[in-house]
Structure 1
Amino acid sequence: MRRRFLMCPPEHFAVEYAINPWMDPAAGADRALAIRQWEGLKSAYESLGHEVNLIEPIEGLPDMVFAANGALVAGGRVYGARFAFPQRAEEAPAYRRWFAERGYPVHEPEHVNEGEGDFLVLDEVILAGTGFRTRTEAHLEAQEFLGRPVVSLRLVDPRYYHLDTALFPLDGRNVAYYPEAFSEGSREVLRRLFPDAVLATAADAAVLGLNAVSDGTHVVINIEASDLQLELKRRGYEVVPVDLSELRKAGGGPKCCTLEIRGDN
C-alpha cells in the first residue's frame, strides 16, 4: 500500500545540546553529510512509490528533522506533540500548524508526549512507550481523542528513550523489537501480543536498527543492522538499507525522520 510521509529537511541540523545518550555536542555533526543522507532516505521512499510531503525547517530547531516526534496521525486526526525538553518545544506548534492549515482536526495535548517517537500504530491497537519522554497520561489522552485502544509499554534503557528506537511494526499485525529495552512486564505483554515477533540482537539495537520503517513488504532500515536484515529477508521482507550515521549522532534513524500521515483507515 502506498504510504504518505511528512519529512523535514535537516537544513539546520546540529548537535548543540545533549538530551539523550547519543548526543555529544563536543563531537558535533557534519550538516552537509546529514543532508545527503537524509536525501537518500527520501529518495528510497519515493523509489518505493510512497509520497513524501515536506515541512519547512525552522532555524534554531536542529532536531526538527526528526519529524516522527511532531505528531501522531491516525484516521485522519492529529494528536499533537508536547516535548519533554525546552530545546524542542517550538517544534510542536510548527507541526500542528502544518496539519491545521491542511484541514486536519488537530488536538493540542495537555500531557507530555513526543508523537510517533512513542506511539506506533497497528491495525487494532496503538503501542505507546513511556519511561523517559512520553507520560502515561498522554496514552489515555490519545486514546480518548483517536478512539483507538492504546497499550502502554515501559522503556528501561536510556539509549532507547523512545519506543521507535526499540520496536517497529512489520505490518498491521506484527512487530520487531529488542526485548532488553523493555521492563519485564512490558516484555510479557509483547510476548502475548506478538508471539511471532522478530527479536533484534543487542548489536542491531545499538545501531538503531529498530528505528526502521516498513510498508508491509519493504523495510527501510539502517545499513549497519546486519543480523536484523538477514532475519527480515528470511521472513520474506525486502530490505532497503540506508546510511543515516550522521543523524544517529543525535539519536535518530529512518523512522525518526518520518511521520506517517494516515487517512481514514
Structure 2
Amino acid sequence: MTSTDTVTAPTSKRTPQPRTYLMCRPEHFTVSYRINPWMEPANPTDTARAVEQWQSLYDTYVSLGHTIELIDPIPGLPDMVYTANGGFIIDGTAYGASFTYPERQPEGPAFMQWFADHGFDVVEPKNINEGEGDFLLVGDTILAGTGFRSTTDSHKELADLYGREVLSLTLTNPNFYHLDTAISVLDPLTGDRDANIAYLPSAFDEASLALLEERYPNAIHVSEEDSRILGLNSISDGYNVVIAKRATGFEAQLRERGYNPIGVDLSELLLGGGGVKCCTLELRR
C-alpha cells in the first residue's frame, strides 16, 4: 500500500495533545569523533549556529503549548543534545540508557541522575540500549529497534519492566542506525490498525517490514530523499508534526492526512547524525 492509497481523518478531527519534553542546549556541540555515517570530524561545525537552530526548535515546542524541561550540558559530552537517547519513560518509570560507544557512555548516568532528581523511578539497564532513539510508543505497544545500537535483550527487559507488548524491528541500513530515524509516530495515543505511523521501508529487514505492513496498513511510506535528511526524525502531538524543513515530500504527505507539519532547520545538528526527534525525549509522568 502506498501513502496515497488511504486518506484518513480531516484536519478538524485531529486534536493536539500537550506534551512534556526533555531537551539539552548544545553548548558543547561539535563533531570530534565518528560513531555514525553522518559524523565527519574533518568537517567544521558551528556551535553557535547549533544553539541558534536548537533554540528555534525549543521555541516551536513552547508556541505549541508543550512543556520543556532542561538537562544541563556537560563539557566533553557533545552528543547530550540528543536527549532522546538518554532513556525511555512511561508512567513515571525511567528505563536508563546504556550506550554502545565509549564516547557516549558517560551520558547514561548523567541522565539517570537527572531522572532521579526530578521524581522519576529510575531503573538501571542490564543491557545495551539507547533509549527513545530505539524505543517508540504507539498506543500501548512499544516498537523496539535493533541491528546497530540497542540489543534484543534490552527489548525483553523493556517488556518485563512495563508489561507491554514490544515489537522488535531490525534495522539494516547504517544511515538509519536508530529506530527514530526510520519511523515517525504520528498518532502516539492510538495503536494497531487505527494508528498512523510513517516509515522508510528499505530501512528494515524483510521480517520487520512484513510486521509493519500487517500492523499498520495505513502507514505513510516516506521517500529515500526525505529520509536521508532525517525527515522521519520528527515529533507529533497528534496534529502538529515538527519535521526537518527540507523534507518537503513528507510535508505534503502529512498535509494530505490532515496533520499540520511545521518545518525547522537543524542542519548543523544533522552533522552529528541527529534531527528533531533526537533532540527531544518525552517525559511521560
TM-score (norm 2): 0.91
Aligned to 1:262: 284
Aligned to 1:115: 131
Structure 1 residue 168, shift from structure 2 partner: 1.1
1:245 correspondence with 2:245: no
What code does the residue aligned with 1:166 have?
A
2:237 aligned to which of 173, 197, 215: 215
1:188 aligned to which of 203, 210, 234: 210
Q: 1:72, 1:79 within 8 Å by CA — same for their partners in 2?
A: yes
Aligned to 1:198: 220
CA distance in 1, matches of 2:262, 2:46: 24
- SS of 1:246's partner is helix
Deviates more, 1:83-92 or 1:138-147: 138-147
Q: 1:125, 1:148 within 8 Å by CA — same for their partners in 2?
A: yes
CA distance in 1, matches of 2:22, 2:44: 26
- SS of 2:81's partner is coil
Unaligned stretches of 5+ in structure 2? 1-16, 189-194
Question: What aligned pairs does 1:129-140 form with structure 2 within 5 A after superposition?
Answer: 129-140=145-156
What code does the residue aligned with 1:251 have?
G
CA distance in 1, matches of 2:280, 2:267: 16
| CA offsets 1:124-183 (integer angstroms, 9 cap, x no match) | 200000000000000000111112111000000000000000001001322100000000
CA distance in 2, matches of 1:102, 1:34: 27
Aligned to 1:102: 118
CA distance in 2, matches of 1:64, 1:134: 18
CA distance in 2, matches of 1:31, 1:115: 25
2:62 aligned to which of 29, 46, 52: 46
1:127 aligned to which of 129, 143, 149: 143
Q: 1:75, 1:146 within 8 Å by CA — same for their partners in 2?
A: no
CA RMSD of aligned residues (A): 0.6
Question: What aligned pairs does 1:220-231 form with structure 2 within 5 A after superposition?
Answer: 220-231=242-253
Aligned to 2:96: 80
- SS of 2:80's partner is coil
CA distance in 2, matches of 1:171, 1:90: 33
Aligned to 2:168: 152
Aligned to 2:53: 37
- SS of 1:145's partner is helix
Aligned to 2:258: 236
| CA offsets 1:67-103 (integer angstroms, 9 cap, x no match) | 0000001121100000000000010111101111122
Aligned to 2:6: none
What code does the residue aligned with 2:276 have?
P
TM-score (norm 1): 0.98
CA distance in 2, matches of 1:126, 1:250: 26
Structure 1 residue 63, shift from structure 2 partner: 0.3
Deviates more, 1:182-191 or 1:99-108: 99-108
Structure 1 residue 222, shift from structure 2 partner: 0.2
What code does the residue aligned with 1:226 have?
T
Q: How many residues align?
A: 263
CA distance in 2, matches of 1:144, 1:102: 24
Q: 1:16, 1:28 within 8 Å by CA — same for their partners in 2?
A: no
Unaligned stretches of 5+ in structure 1? none
| CA offsets 1:95-122 (integer angstroms, 9 cap, x no match) | 1011111221111001000000000011
Q: 1:83, 1:114 within 8 Å by CA — same for their partners in 2?
A: yes
